[in-house]
């Protein structure tokens, strides 16, 4: 078997527009330049199937063939539509024509099926798994900083497909943490956005029943209203525990980090390209000008103060309706600004798309 792996890339996003495919192509080009691989870039799947003609199939004979396939690709030239997932499935299917022919040529096949967002839906694999040695790996691959370097390093001194599988599994996905935190945060504040709109559009005309329902859902219901009942019973979506932590805990963990997550400060520090002036916390998170923030940790204190103020006002008997709405608006504004801030950081990372 020839030592140099033959690598095929099918990813139409490798078009110079900072998509994930560009990083994949850049990494593979580096590996090719260093002589670690022979690279074939496929514009369409039919580019590959054409190599199975009698004249060109010797190209593959006896070689290690590694396929990098973007799951969202589609090829319709000259026949039924073939998706990236279809192609990956056929490559590793020993009953399919392509799979059968590759094995007839003594080619050892490895396939990486990847997607920037959705989980590739091959039935035999799950996210992050790699079925190596004539198998297929499916992975949701975020556009991580330095992905091109990781891809290039996959082939450094590589001697076999199993080694490639192990190396691939070691590619970090640091942004998936930030994305997951944004997901959690935006899911929690989605009802608040709707509720604030509802409260705002009817104002004083708001039915007492609807007002009470919204307040109970957001702030919880505490019959006595004293501090002893806090943290128990119905705390509402703003104060309750969801997925093991309160909203304040989520904000705090996002900024300060924990055993599993990098805090914002460390995340920014890790990627120097993100250390730009515009990534300073916006003034609306700090209660004033941006330079008054001092540190990211102050954001957490600022948020907790707003929440305490909201809770104190809401526990009045009877609560001052206007004051409660004002505090609720303030919390909603802060949370929306914080969510936007997280997205700005995510998008400012060197390999993230500018949206």
Partner 1 sequence: MTEVNTVLIVDDNPDYLRSLRTALQRSWAVQTAASVAQAQQIVLENAGRLRVALVDVCLDPRDDSDRSGFDLVRWIRDASPELPVVVMSALPDDSFPEVSDAAGAIAFLAKPVSVDRLRDLVARTVGSGETRA
- Interface residues with partner 1 (CB under 8 A) are 72, 115-119, 127, 140, 179-180, 182-187, 189-195, 197-198, 201, 210, 213-214, 217, 237, 243, 336, 343, 346, 353, 355
* 3-state SS class at 146: coil
- Residue number with CB closer to partner 1 (155 or 334): 334
- Residue number with CB closer to partner 1 (51 or 339): 339
For 161-223, what is the HEC assignment?
HHHHHHHHHCCCCHHHHHHHHHHHHHHHHHHHHHHHHHHHHHHHHCCHHHHHHHHHHHHCCCC
Least Cβ distance, residue 199 to partner 1 (angstroms): 10
Least Cβ distance, residue 37 to partner 1 (angstroms): 27
Least Cβ distance, residue 117 to partner 1 (angstroms): 4
Least Cβ distance, residue 101 to partner 1 (angstroms): 30
- Residue number with CB closer to partner 1 (210 or 322): 210
Strand runs (DSSP E) across the chain, as ranges?
6-10, 38-42, 64-70, 74-75, 82-83, 108-115, 136-140
Least Cβ distance, residue 293 to partner 1 (angstroms): 23
Determine the Cα–Cα distance for residues 209 and 287; give it in Å rounded to an integer: 33
- Residue number with CB closer to partner 1 (54 or 260): 260
- Bridge partners of 82, per DSSP, are 75
- Residue number with CB closer to partner 1 (21 or 161): 21
CB neighbour list of residue 128: distance below 8 Å, 6 or more residues apart: 139, 140, 169
């Amino acid at each position: 078997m020839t030592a140099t792996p033959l690598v095929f890339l099918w990813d139409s996003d490798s078009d110079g527009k900072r998509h994930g495919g560009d990083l994949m192509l850049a990494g593979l080009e580096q590996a090719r330049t260093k002589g670690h691989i022979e690279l074939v870039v496929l514009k369409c799947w039919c580019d590959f199937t054409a190599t199975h003609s009698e004249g060109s199939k010797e190209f593959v004979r006896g070689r290690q063939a590694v396929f990098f396939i973007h799951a969202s690709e589609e090829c319709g030239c000259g026949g039924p539509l073939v998706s990236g997932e279809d192609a990956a499935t056929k490559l590793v299917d020993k009953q399919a024509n392509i799979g059968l022919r590759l094995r007839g040529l003594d080619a050892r096949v490895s396939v990486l099926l990847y997607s920037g967002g959705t989980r590739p839906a091959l039935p035999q694999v799950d996210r992050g798994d790699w079925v190596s040695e004539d198998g297929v790996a499916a992975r949701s691959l975020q556009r991580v900083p330095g992905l091109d370097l990781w891809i290039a390093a996959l082939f450094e001194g590589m001697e076999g497909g199993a080694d490639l599988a192990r190396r691939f599994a070691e590619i970090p996905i640091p942004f998936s943490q930030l994305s997951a935190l944004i997901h959690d945060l935006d899911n929690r504040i989605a009802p608040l956005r709707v509720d604030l709109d509802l409260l705002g559009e009817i104002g004083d005309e708001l039915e007492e029943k609807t007002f009470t329902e919204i307040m109970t859902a957001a702030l919880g219901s505490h019959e006595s209203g004293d501090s002893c009942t806090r943290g128990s019973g119905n705390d509402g979506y703003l104060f309750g525990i969801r997925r093991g932590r309160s909203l304040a805990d989520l904000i705090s963990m996002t900024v300060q980090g924990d055993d599993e997550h990098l805090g914002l400060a460390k995340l920014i520090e890790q990627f120097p390209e993100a250390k730009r002036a515009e990534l300073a916390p916006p003034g609306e998170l700090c209660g004033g000008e941006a330079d008054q923030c001092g540190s990211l940790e102050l954001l957490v204190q600022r948020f907790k103060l707003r929440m305490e103020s909201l809770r104190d006002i809401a526990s009045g008997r009877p609560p001052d309706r206007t004051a409660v709405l004002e505090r609720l608006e303030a919390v909603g504004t802060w949370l929306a600004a914080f969510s936007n801030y997280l997205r700005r950081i995510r998008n400012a990372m060197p390999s993230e798309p500018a949206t």
